[in-house]
Each structure stands twice: as structure tokens, then as C-alpha cells.
Amino acid sequence: MAAVLDGVKVVEVAGWTFVPAGGGVLADWGADVIKIEHPETGDPQRGLSIGTVGAKGAGGVSFAIEQPNRSKRSLGLNIASEEGRDILLRLVAKADVFLTNLLPDRLSRLGLTVEDLREEWRARMPALEGAWAVVQTPGEVLTDPQVRANGYVRTVTGKDGETTYDLVANPVQFDETPPELTRAPDSGEHTDEILEKELGLDWDAIVALKLNNTVN
């Protein structure tokens, strides 16, 4: 298979299965994935043993570790120490991708929150040629000036005529004019209108359909 991610560097600070499995996929595609593990205990999954699966698997192979961590390199590093954190940040600064499943409080203590890393990238990216932008959260996208200016997010008025809220519009604009959005209908809100105008049913026929629960 073509190594489509050849040259891409990934730093993974994650244990167990789900996030490491994502790193394994990137490694399949050719990325250089560096797995950061505790220098003494390693990934906590290394100590897991369930029947014949885990640390005492068949032939001494731990498939719980092998499957999500295939094709990676491992660095034993105490990221709780000042020296270890410095090494980690130096690696992250050179990486294209950072994977983690550490909880927010620990990421904050380590200075590895999304905003911490964004500031690192914001300081480095202006020196590069080409277009770039920091990845935004869904909430940030809603208030992005370019998103607003291009009409990708539209304000909709609720049923009461007073409440307003934002919805995402189709970004494809054939005439460079964003669509005007309306609220989602209540269930069956337009039943009478559709039956009368689209199918030509009279009121007696519509009432009969309502009485036998065919329409609402």
C-alpha cells in the first residue's frame, strides 16, 4: 500500500485502545507515530490480562497491545517531570499531529490543552509560506468572521417570532448569495396545506383522513 502519510510525524500520548487505534491507522498509512509511555509502567493496557487475551496472551503476544500499537515507535518518558514535559513539548513542536486521551485537568496541568498547542503553532506558522489556519472548535466556527461574512451560518427566527438561533447553511452558493433559512417544521405542521394545495383534497376528505389516523 502506498505510504500516503510518509513524512508526517505523530506524537501520541494515550493509553488503552481507542486513541492508540487511531494512531495505528495513521502508521498503516505511513506516518511516523511516536508513542509516549510511562518509563516504568508503560501503557496501562500492557498489564491487562483477560483469559488468553492481554499480557499473558497466546505465545506471549499481547494482542491488546499489538493491535492498536502496530508499526509505532515508543518513547518511555515521565511527562509529569519538568525535564520530561520539556522533551514532550519539543517533540510536539516538530509534529504534524498530536493524539491524546488524557483528561482535561491533566492536559491543563501539563500545558497541553488545545489552546496551549494552538499558541505554539500560531507563533510558528506565520514564517511558513502558503495559506494556513488553526483548527477551530464547532463553537468558534460559528463566530468566525469569514464564516459569517460568507453566509455559511444563518440566523433563523423561531416559531414564536421572537426567538432567534443560528443554523449552518449549505456552503455551495451558485450565485454567491447565501440561502435564507427557515425553522424546522413541527411534526405535521403543513399537513392540511400539502393535502389541499398539492393533491387538491377538500376539507371533508382531509377531516376523514384525520379521523382514521391516516394523517395528523
- What residues pair up with 11 in beta bridges, in sequence order? 34, 98
Compute CA 17 distance to the chain's CA centroid, rounded to the nearest angstrom: 17
Average pLDDT over residues 153-157: 86
Provide the pLDDT confidence category of residue 33 given band limits of 50, 70 and 90: very high
Q: Can you give the pLDDT at residue 42?
A: 82
Q: Can you give the pLDDT at residue 55?
A: 52
| Of 8-12, 85-89, 207-211, highest mean pLDDT | 8-12
By the 8 A CB rule, do 78 and 84 touch? yes
Average pLDDT over residues 141-158: 86
Mean pLDDT, the chain, rounded, equals 82
pLDDT of 57 higher than 60: no
Q: Can you give the pLDDT at residue 200?
A: 85
By the 8 A CB rule, do 27 and 70 touch? yes
Provide the pLDDT confidence category of residue 52 given band limits of 50, 70 and 90: low
pLDDT of 40 higher than 90: no
Q: Where in the chain is the domain with CATH 3.40.50.10540?
A: 9-127
By the 8 A CB rule, do 135 and 47 touch? no
Distance (Å, whole) CA 109 – CA 88: 14
pLDDT of 152 higher than 80: yes
CATH topology of domain 9-127: Rossmann fold (3.40.50)
Contact partners, residue 215, CB within 8 Å, separation at least 6: 188, 191, 195, 206, 209
Instruction: Provide the percentage of residues in the chain whose pLDDT is more than 90.
Output: 12
Under DSSP, is residue 74 helix (H, G, I), strand (E, B) or coil?
Answer: strand
Instruction: Provide the percentage of residues in the chain whose pLDDT is more than 70.
Output: 90
Least confident of 91-95, 131-135, 147-151, 192-196: 131-135
pLDDT of 161 higher than 80: yes
Least confident of 2-11, 27-36, 122-131: 122-131
Positions of E strands within the chain: 9-13, 32-37, 49-50, 53-54, 73-76, 97-100, 153-157, 164-168
